[in-house]
Amino acid sequence: MKKKPFVTKEQLEDIVKQYPTPFHLYDEKGIRENARKVKQAFSWNKGYKEYFAVKATPNPYILQILHEEGFGCDCSSFTELMMSEACGITGEEIMFSSNATPAKEFEYARELGAIINLDDITHIDFLEQHGGIPETISCRYNPGGVFKMSNGIMDNPGDAKYGLTTEQMFEAFRILKQKGAKHFGIHAFLASNTVTNEYYPALAKVLFELAVKLKEETGADIKFINLSGGVGIPYRPDQDPNDILAIGEGVRKVYEEILVPAGMGDVALCTEMGRFILGPYGGLITTAIHEKHTHKEYIGCDACAANLMRPAIYGAYHHITVMGKENEPCDHKYDVTGSLCENSDKFAIDRMLPKIDMGDLLFIHDAGAHGFAMGYNYNGKLRSAEILLQEDGSAKMIRRAETPEDLYATFDFSEFKFPFDRWYE
């Protein structure tokens, strides 16, 4: 399978005239189409709700687009709650899933009327003191052990800091009922970036069986079950993508096998996808500005790991298209690098690509989630702009690039005078 950018070279060249590289570019048309497909996949469940994982792409313009498509927000911090509120997303359209949570964050979540998803049994008393116990509340489940499937996809819940044990789930529900909770949710996240249609149905089976037992043994009213995220994307061109319609159908079968016979056919389902919703619909756009011929062949870009750190910290693969050379042979082997003082600052190692000339625009694929969001300022690098390719083909800046004034704004300017006039756009 050949990965194709969602933008043409001509479109990019026009955008670059107004917004210099590097920048993150998002495809509104693709985002909306994918959002509608996700809703279609779970349309059989009357109460279904997707809570977009804000941490994946924390931009209010993106949240607004998804809210227009019927999505809520999955928040995990004070500032994510703040962004959600700024977009008019409040109440039960927010799922607040946090861990080691400061008091003021629980208090803010309660003020907004968010659904709180507790990460630990000790948080019950803490929440009661800082915001109070709501009538509807959720608990995050961690079954321990290793979550392994026949296709080799696995994660290690037993080594994860998140969630309650099986025994604690039952105890927590009883305690919460005594403290006034009336409606309950169950949440679990057991594997990350799975590229298989079997993950959600397998997770659903675990949670549905637990839900039946919790209802039977505690009398709790299970209002919703949250399958969280974990549905991944094919970063490599030879990977087959997930089929969200097949995934939804797989979950439906398990729902009808386990919940319906138990008299729980009215339980709503939730998801909290980030990567699947946004990943393929964002790219990092950068310009080749240097070439180096030493022990290897290097291409130096004006973007670096500060703009997209996944390759540097995970060794993650991100496909690269040299714009305008999509049909040329990939007969040159390059390390594609940024300018950080770190040897791991490489977008690609020994990657076969067409010959790259200085000034070529590179489209780094699948940077729409956990791309800009994980950026940082090491080496004094300034975080780049975010641009939205709107449905009509026009480009809109949805976050400007940082300036030196932004970087140094927390210093006391009465003590230090920075030569900001030396900065050039």
Q: What is the pLDDT of residues 194-231, one digit of tens each?
A: 999 999 999 999 999 999 999 999 999 999 999 999 99
Give 220-264 pLDDT, tens digit per residue: 999 999 999 999 999 999 999 999 999 999 999 999 999 999 999
Please give the torsion angle defined by the CA atoms of residues 53, 140, 235 and 27, in that order, rounded to the nearest 10 degrees: -10
State how far the Cα of 49 lies from the Cα of 298, in Å rounded to an integer.
46
State how far the Cα of 221 lies from the Cα of 177, in Å rounded to an integer.
10
Catalytic residue selected from 73, 139, 301, 341: 341
- Top pLDDT among 130 and 417 is at 130
Residue 306 reports pLDDT greater than 80:
yes
Q: Does domain 280-407 have CATH number 2.40.37.10?
A: yes
CA quadruple 128, 132, 137, 138: dihedral positive or negative? negative
Q: Where are the beta strands (DSSP E) in 49-180?
A: 49-53, 72-75, 94-97, 115-118, 136-140, 147-148, 154-155
- Top pLDDT among 143 and 416 is at 143
Q: Yes or no: say if 332 and 354 are a contact pair by the CB < 8 Å rule.
A: yes
Residue 425 reports pLDDT greater than 60:
no
275 Cβ contact list (under 8 Å, min separation 6)? 53, 56, 193, 229, 231, 232, 233, 369, 370
Class of domain 28-279: alpha beta
Give the pLDDT of residue 277: 98
Residue 323 reports pLDDT greater than 60:
yes
State how far the Cα of 28 lies from the Cα of 368, in Å rounded to an integer.
11
Please give the torsion angle defined by the CA atoms of residues 138, 271, 83 and 7, in that order, rounded to the nearest 10 degrees: 170
> How sure is the predictor about 150, in pLDDT bands with cuts at 50, 70 and 90?
very low
> How sure is the predictor about 149, in pLDDT bands with cuts at 50, 70 and 90?
low
- Residue 341 a catalytic site member: yes
> How sure is the predictor about 415, in pLDDT bands with cuts at 50, 70 and 90?
confident
Q: Yes or no: say if 196 and 151 are a contact pair by the CB < 8 Å rule.
A: yes
List the Cα angle 133/139/145 in 5-degree steps.
155
- Sequence spans of domains, the chain: 28-279, 280-407
Q: What percent of the chain has pLDDT over 70?
A: 98
Provide the mean pLDDT of the chain.
Answer: 95
Residue 151 reports pLDDT greater than 70:
no
